[in-house]
Amino acid sequence: MRTSYFKFLLDVFVFVAKKALYVCFINYGGMRTFRINGTNLTPKIDFNGTTGEMSLTGKSIFFEKDHFWDGLFIWYMGYLRNPKEKTVLNIDLEYFNTQTSSRLMCLLKMTRFLQKKGLALEINWACYDEDEDQLELIELFENVTKLTISIQHKVTTQKFVA
């Protein structure tokens, strides 16, 4: 992905992808926030560059090359240029498909930069104990990225069906 599409000296930039409007507020070189409201197919994204708190929640279902993640990656690359001393990434996706898992891997590989820089990093992933596929995927992400992911166990009273 090329970042040359946007100049980070702008105060605000807006771009449109797949009928969705994303707005990223930039504070002259320091990224402040990146927020997208979730839908029944897309996750809620709340990345706060001021506090270092990042969260992905909800469902994430994509079927082809989707540009939903592009804006987030561009914003995150800007954040990584001037990160906080501690970054907390919270992931609570009740469902996501293979397309999303590849994007999550990219996000985690980018996040590894913070660890290499010696900055504090906390990754929390909320997951149902019964969701063996997601638990295995988290383990794979840990092995590939060499990041420590703390699993926040969720309990359900309903029978889980994969």
Is 52 inside any structural domain? yes
Domain holding 27, by residue range, is 12-154
Is 103 inside any structural domain? yes
Is 4 inside any structural domain? no
Distance CA 48, CA 13 (A): 16
Q: Kindly report, residue by residue over 38-59, the tens digit of the pLDDT.
A: 999 899 999 999 999 999 999 9
- List the CATH number of the domain containing 80: 3.30.750
Is 7 inside any structural domain? no
Supply angle C-alpha 19, 21, 27, rounded to 5.
160
Q: Kindly report, residue by residue over 54-95, the tens digit of the pLDDT.
A: 999 999 988 766 677 888 898 999 999 889 999 999 999 999
Please state the domain count of the chain: 1
Share of the chain above pLDDT 90, in %: 54
